[in-house]
Structure 1
Amino acid sequence: MGFCNSCGQPIIKEDYGTNKDGSLNPDYCKDCFQDGEFTEPDITLQEMIVRKTKEMMEKNPDLAETQATGITAMFIPGLKRWNPEFQDDYKTL
């Protein structure tokens, strides 16, 4: 099992997104990446952090918002979609 390099959720093969040629893309989940493109190309890093923080808190009601925000704010910016070191990788898919 890996993690989606856009939203950070755990993914298995059934959750993989797809490239332009229809092949599976193990870097991104099907919610974030389909047919070689991001499903929400205009979402910002901050918006993704807020969304994933809310989802984490819904799944873990005892988790404080500051803790959830700290986790997502540390993890998500390092993923391929958000890390400038990887920006060229997804443009060629």
Structure 2
Amino acid sequence: MDEIIAKACQSCGMPMNTKADFGTEADGSLSKEYCTYCYQSGAYTDPAITIDEMAEKGGAMLAQLYEIPPKNAKEFAREQLASLKRWAGREVPLCASCGMPLARDEDAGTEADGSRSGTYCTYCYRDGAFTEPDLTKAAAVAKYAPMMAARLGMPVEKAKGMVEQYLSTLPRWQG
């Protein structure tokens, strides 16, 4: 893995933006899927942890970092974990624009020929084009942060930081 492409850990959801964030495989190479906290030398660092225990840990971190009420943070963490490979048993594709899980056919946007997009959700992409083609990353943060703040009971400024960090892992906003 010569070039680092920001993505989220498929075990805990942590953004992985630098080489130091990525776990390692048994041969010492960087993992393509898991962070350094979840995966070392080709194995999970805590193989017995449950999704609820992971949500408890992740929720506690989210609550502290972003001033989210602990109950809301844990519920949010649990929702996010459910679409990750370690917990879903398969890699659930995420919208490359907003990050929505594409768990069901109806979640996917459509290509110009009417076929389902494997890359974008129905809210971001229809008929082979973005629904908001001029949307910038800054505008996306401004759009999504108030919704996130209201949903999780957190300060809007903290939500802006959280959304900015998350969007940085999505292909539409890289580069």
TM-score range, shorter chain: 0.7 to 0.9
TM-align CA RMSD: 1.5
For structure 2, the 5+ residue unaligned runs are 1-91
SS at match of 2:173: coil
Q: Report the counterpart of residue 67 of structure 1 in structure 2.
A: 158
Residue in 2 aligned with 1:3?
94
* Identical-pair percentage: 35
Instruction: Note the C-alpha offset of 1:82.
Output: 1.3
What count of residue pairs does the alignment treat as equivalent? 83
CA distance, structure 1, for counterparts of residue 103 and residue 146 of structure 2 = 22
* Higher alpha-carbon deviation: 6-15 or 43-52: 6-15
Q: Under a length normalisation based on structure 2, what TM-score does the superposition of the two structures give?
A: 0.44
1:70 partner SS: helix
Which stretches of structure 1, 4 residues or more, deviate above 6 A after TM superposition?
Answer: none
Deviation, structure 1 residue 5: 1.2
Amino acid at match of 2:162: I
What are structure 1's unaligned runs of at least 5 residues? 85-93
Q: TM-score, normalised by structure 1?
A: 0.77
| Greater C-alpha radius of gyration | 2
Moved more, 41-50 or 12-21: 12-21
Cα distance in 1 between the residues matched to 2:150 and 2:116: 29
